[in-house]
Amino acid sequence: MDIEQFRKEGYKAIDAICEYYAGLEQRPVVAQVEPGYLSKLVPNEVPEKGEPFPSIAADFQRLILPGITSWQHPSFFAYFPSNATFEGMLADLYASSVTNPGFNWACSPACTELESVVMDWAAKMLGLDEAFLVQSGVGGGVIQTSASDSALVAIVAARSAFLHAHPNVSPSDLLIYGTSQTHSLGAKAALILGLNFKALEVYPTYQYGLRGSTLQKAILEDRQKGKHPFVLIATLGTTSTGAIDCMPEIGPIAKEAGLWMHVDAAWAGITLSCPEYREKAYLKDINLHADSFCTNFHKWGLTNFDLSALWVRSRTKLTDALDVTPAFLRTKQSDAGMVIDYRNWQLSLGRKFRSIKLWFVLRSYGVEGLRAHIRKSVALATHFADFVQESSIFELCTPQSFALAVFRLAPKDVETPLTQDQLNGLNRTLFHKIAARSDITITQTDVLGMFCLRLAVGAQRTEERHIRRAWEIISTAGVEVWADYQAGKPVPVENGTH
Ligand SMILES: *Cc1c(COP(=O)(O)O)cnc(C)c1O
């Protein structure tokens, strides 16, 4: 492809993207294809001769789009949002046009320097302590691929610092602490690092957030057994219910016990951009006690996947653990300590130029625009939660957390109260009924044995009418499931939540 062909095909690509977005609401939310659909439609081998680009682009429409679930659809309420903006798309295009492996400053100085600048911008926007700024010269921010990577990097740094301070401790006695609600990234990090992950108990009475007393007790008991907890993954907004660990209690205990506290705020961290949520999100305690903090701008932060923001209080703890500099990677700027080589702040060597996405998005929306997006999502979720609470057959399973509502069918005023198994059966049936539809998508979760449905708001195009429609669909299905149950139709037996 030469420059003139690129110009032509590039314009056509943008036109096709615009058409997709213009017709988004009429498309199915969830891809309506069966497993293996694509391999039946594409050849088994690389074509021997190059093909004309227009037919390649046409196949994106013909073969790929039908297999795409539209996460930007206004009725996408599953998992957590994965925002995409036109600003982010254009940034990716520009980044891709100057592609480079970015492992050190010299690869393309702008990539490193922009990352430091926008990570400081973002830290200030979220209200993070100055210690987390690159400007501080001590801590700093780095863009990772995912929250799982961010946690892994933090845990590697924590382990290295801990073993350095306690040279006689055997790595096999180390413990990573999280809770039963911690994202699977905790268990996965343990698996990768050959360490043990311990899930501390959480309770409905504190809405599934970790309490200080539980942490304190675990530390004492594990130490008596000769174990060494060295890192605590605290969560601001769990995946299942949006629970928040009690940072004011656990922060000082973790610090006192010498545990590195990593705050996983992959989804909810972005709410810190709004001053009114900072108290609920324990910003003050995070600023006092967290050693590292992660939030994904690629979830609810208007930035196209991938952009996981990780901030650490001590950059040398990262580089002490991760700096491997063979002679061929040395540069005079790094040797002089004048620049950051971000490869030493992450697991891999090469890295994408991602900061440009955040730069474009933050400049185009401004803090005001991002806040408006967050506030609107929360207000819409509240609207949905109100419907649930006004209904006589539904209930919220946990209080609404930011833009997430966790609820279930639980008819009130019945003669014999239903058992947990019966309720789980009803809700599983309800979930399958909704999952069979193509015009809306929600997800399920298991909250300590309780089968619940989750509705997460956060797509940019969701409006009040989509929330009303979602409630109409869900409540109608709920009425049917309940009527069937009362008429004696069998309910599927308990068989786990998946
Ligand atoms: C989404 C999410 C994760 C996983 O994020 P990845 O970036 O996909 O690794 C981890 N923790 C929480 C709380 C999340 O919401």
- Model confidence at 282: pLDDT above 70: yes
Nearest CA-CA partner of 232 in 188, 163, 170, 290 = 290
Average pLDDT over residues 79-105: 97
Compute φ and ψ for 428, nearest 5 degrees: -65, -40
Each as own residue / partner, the long-range contacts of residues 439-442 (CB below 8 Å, 24 or more positions apart, any chain) are 439/28, 439/29, 439/75, 439/473, 440/29, 440/75, 440/77, 440/469, 440/470, 440/473, 441/29, 441/30, 441/69, 441/75, 441/76, 441/77, 441/78, 442/77, 442/78, 442/470, 442/474
Residue 92 corresponds to which tokens in the numbers above? 């990716």
Residue with the nearest Cα to atom 14 of ligand 1? Answer: 266
* Coil, helix or strand at residue 202: coil
Angstrom distance (rounded) from CA 423 to CA 439: 26
pLDDT band at 494 (very low <50, low <70, confident <90, very high): low
Model pTM? 0.96
Ligand 1 touching residue 370 (CB < 6 A): no
Q: Is pLDDT of 498 > 50?
A: no
Say how many Å lie between the CA of residue 299 and the centre of ligand 1. Answer: 9
Packing angle, helices 420-435 and 464-486, rounded to 10:
130
| Domain assignments of the chain as residue spans, ordered by start | 3-68, 100-353, 363-497
User: pLDDT band at residue 158, thresholds of 50, 70 and 90?
Assistant: very high
Residue 298 Cβ inside 6 Å of ligand 1? The answer reads: no
pLDDT at 276 > cutoff 90: yes
Confidence of residue 324 (pLDDT cuts 50, 70, 90): confident
Q: Are 339 and 112 in contact (CB under 8 A)?
A: yes
Summarised one tens digit per residue, pLDDT across range 213-229 is 999 999 999 999 999 99
Cβ 145 under 6 angstroms from ligand 1: no
The CA distance from 124 to 273, in Å, is 9
The pLDDT value given to residue 423: 97
Residue 80 Cβ < 6 Å to ligand 1 = yes
- Pinpoint the alpha helices (H) of 52-108: 53-59, 86-97
Answer whether 266 contacts ligand 1 (Cβ < 6 A): yes
Q: Find, among 363, 340, 289, the residue nearest to 143 by Cα.
A: 340
Q: Distance between CA atoms of 456 and 377, rounded to whole angstroms?
A: 9
pLDDT for 488 equals 86
Please report which confidence band the pLDDT of residue 492 belongs to, taking 50, 70 and 90 as the band edges: low
292 forms beta bridges with: 262, 312
Is the pLDDT reported for residue 332 higher than 90? Answer: no
Write down the CATH number for the domain with range 100-353: 3.40.640.10
Asked whether residue 497 carries a pLDDT value surpassing 50, the answer given is: no
Report CA(237)–ligand 1 centroid distance (Å).
10
96-111 core/surface letters (b: 16 or more CB in 10 A; e: else): eeeeeebbbbebbeeb
Mean pLDDT of 385-411: 97
Amino acid 244: pLDDT: 98
Check residue 82 and give its pLDDT: 98
Domain 363-497 has CATH 3.40.50.300: no
Q: Does domain 3-68 fall into CATH 1.20.1340.10?
A: yes
Calpha distance 96→88 (Å, rounded)? 12
For residue 443, the CA-to-ligand 1 centroid distance in Å is 15
Mean pLDDT of the chain: 96
Q: What pLDDT is recorded for position 325? A: 79
* DSSP summary character for residue 417: P
Determine if ligand 1 sits within 6 Å of the CB of residue 296.
Answer: yes
The radius of gyration computed from the CA coordinates of the chain, to the nearest angstrom, equals 24
Q: Would you say the CB of residue 179 lies under 6 angstroms from ligand 1? A: no
Between the CA of 464 and the centroid of ligand 1 the distance, in Å, is 27
* Least trusted range by pLDDT, from 17-21, 242-246, 297-301, 331-335: 331-335
Read off the pLDDT of each residue in 9-31 and give the average, rounded to a whole number: 98
H helices, E strands: number in the chain:
15, 11
176 CB less than 6 Å from ligand 1?
A: no
